Amino acid sequence: MSKERTFSIIKPDGVSRNLIGKIIARFESEGLFVIGAKMKQLSRHEAEGFYAVHRSRPFYAELVNSMCSGPVLLMVLEGENAILKNREIMGATNPTEAKENTIRKLFGVSIGENTVHGSDAPDTAKNEIAWFFAESDLANKQ
């Protein structure tokens, strides 16, 4: 096992329903540490760039609209196997397919409004963190 960083977003549907505390409590209870956090209203440019990998997908416009519909909480999480652990805590992308007690099963409204985003691999985690955070923004939890 090795200590890793991953990138997490509490999406507008999670922030607007006042779920920030419950979601962070879940991360912390499973050994993930918040080492960076920023509340932000994403611009279209930021949302489009962040999700550029999905640009050709049919849901892209809806995804960008949804991510700009209200403030989000951007976070960097650190812990043992943080990337996989966060993905397990979040559950499948589609809340109807997510396992019991995952964040998306508990709180997700639809595949578009699935409450949280998390990096899927080490290279994406690095890029996603760098999209929103400078190294100097992060508390180094050694």
Known catalytic residues?
117
Least distance to ligand CMP, CB of residue 122, Å: 16
In angstroms, how far is CA 1 from the centroid of its own chain? Answer: 22
Question: Which of 63, 74, 75, 76 is in the footprint of ligand CMP by CB under 6 A?
Answer: 63
Least distance to ligand CMP, CB of residue 130, Å: 17
Site for ligand CMP in 38-57 (CB under 6 A): 54
Question: Which of 7, 15, 117, 125 is in the footprint of ligand CMP by CB under 6 A?
Answer: 117
> Which stretch in 26-34, 112-120, 122-130, 132-140 sits in contact with ligand CMP by CB under 6 A?
112-120
* Residues that contact ligand CMP, how many (by CB under 6 A): 8
Which one, of 78, 65, 88, 90, lies nearest residue 125 by Cα?
78
Radius of gyration over every alpha carbon of the chain, rounded to an integer in angstroms: 14
> Starting at the edge strand that comes first in sequence, how are the strands of the sheet with 116-118 ordered?
33-40, 72-80, 3-10, 116-118
Instruction: Give every CB contact of residue 133 below 8 A, 6+ residues apart in sequence.
Output: 36, 38, 74, 76
115 binds ligand CMP (CB under 6 A): no
Least distance to ligand CMP, CB of residue 109, Å: 10
Which one, of 99, 90, 97, lies nearest residue 8 by Cα?
90
